[in-house]
Structure 1
Amino acid sequence: RTEGYELGLVKAQLNKQAGIFACDDYALVSTKELNLDGVKTLIIPSTQVSGYTGDGTAPNAPIFIDAWHSVKADGRYKAHDWVIKADPDTVLLVDRLKMKLTPGNQPTNPYPPPFKAKLGAGQWVANCDKMAGWGKGWGEGWPMMYGSLEIISREAIDNYFANEDWCKNQVPWMGMGEDAFMGLCLRKLEAGELFLKQGDGVCGGGVCTDDSYQAYHPRKDISSWMQCWGEATR
């Protein structure tokens, strides 16, 4: 969003080549051209939502369906192995994440899905297991991919693009958060799953000096974002 704190955060990260700007390629998604030097803006029609989901979050699936359409139309994702969607207030450590996604370094999933991933269906990353502590199991939708950081392989996002309409018929997407919709869709498409817990305050949190995490959230002002980034990269 161009109003509020997000644009300032993005500019500060760009200045330090931090967050998504440490990736091999990047773009920003907005309702208007942001005119940041060397950064492409992918335009979507709206970021407005109304109401709440059952867990009190925004039912923003329609917005991010448009955002993924803009990524598809841009096409640059096809040159890369993984696609990442990060909120501006997520402190992302790209080099740390790359190591964990490298074949041979990928950790064993403590919450393996009850199916063998389909050949060519790709992989995605769940990052929160809070509900497991409440006695809820994998079949109830957990662990989940929290939307502060979504990590999806090129094959998996292509799989989603090819089957988006089918997923919409399988999942009540209009009243859902985009992260819940995408995770459920990829599970129904039987994509492979990794689990990389992140230091998200909505999922138990994590201090920025704990290098077991590849991301920390939320840091909604420049000072706290940069402090966390500095502690994590020290």
Structure 2
Amino acid sequence: VPPVEKKDARGSSLFCLMAVLPGSPEEQLSGLAKSKGASIYACDANMIANSLAAPMKQWGSGDTTLVNTESFLDVWRQVKTDGRYKNYDWTVKVDPDSVFMPDRLKYHLEHLLAPKNMPIYIKNTAKEFGFLGAIEVFSKEAMDVYFGKDTIDDNDQHCFKET
């Protein structure tokens, strides 16, 4: 997406969330960040979403990975139900063990000059078709597009098969 004139650029307000597995060390990390007013607690608004424990799966290759698709779908359902993301320019999902500085992200978003009213995902990896990372950034309109889906389509089914 090419940059636009500053007058036509979206703002940099942040709604930040962290998925935390109850009873895990993630709770301590989140609590420490909160006590310092750091990470998601330095955003314009924030929420903690309870994540679900995810099972491990051994693949035919012998590799073992965490199968956490359903856990993250549940986190996004919580964000949709909460609804506060609608009041901010960007939604940011941050892993509990990440070092995240909202002011630095705001600076970069302001200089990005992203157009208003457009669904945007900030790519955070050089991997083609990668949707990875400890920090994920979406425009409000991107969240609206995702949440506007009422059914699982063929693309979603492909993702489920891959995980």
Shared fold (TM-score, shorter chain, > 0.5): yes
Tell me the equivalent position of 1:4. 24
1:13-60 CA-partner distances (Å, limit 9, x unpaired)? 0000000110010010115xxxxxxxxxxxxxx333331678854232
Tell me the equivalent position of 2:155. 170
Picking from 95, 107, 110, the partner of 1:99 is 107
Tell me the equivalent position of 1:20. 40
User: 1:150 is paired with a residue of what secondary structure?
Assistant: strand
Tell me the equivalent position of 1:151. 137
Q: CA RMSD in A?
A: 2.8
The alignment covers a number of residue pairs equal to: 140
Picking from 115, 124, 127, the partner of 2:124 is 127
User: 2:148 is paired with a residue of what secondary structure?
Assistant: helix
User: Which sits farther off after the overlay, 156-165 or 92-101?
Assistant: 156-165
Bigger proportion of residues as strand: 2
**Cα distance, 1:151 vs. partner?**
0.6
Picking from 72, 78, 93, the partner of 1:70 is 78
Cα distance in 2, alignment partners of residues 90 and 68 from structure 1: 19
More RCO (CA 8 Å, sep 6+): 2
Runs of 5+ consecutive residues of structure 1 not aligned to the other structure: 32-45, 109-118, 132-137, 178-234
Distance 1:176 1:92, change over 3 A: farther
The two structures have a TM-score, normalised by structure 2, of 0.73
User: 1:88 is paired with a residue of what secondary structure?
Assistant: coil
**Cα distance, 1:11 vs. partner?**
0.7
What fraction of aligned residue pairs are identical, expressed as a percent? 30
Tell me the equivalent position of 1:212. none
Cα distance in 1, alignment partners of residues 40 and 58 from structure 2: 28
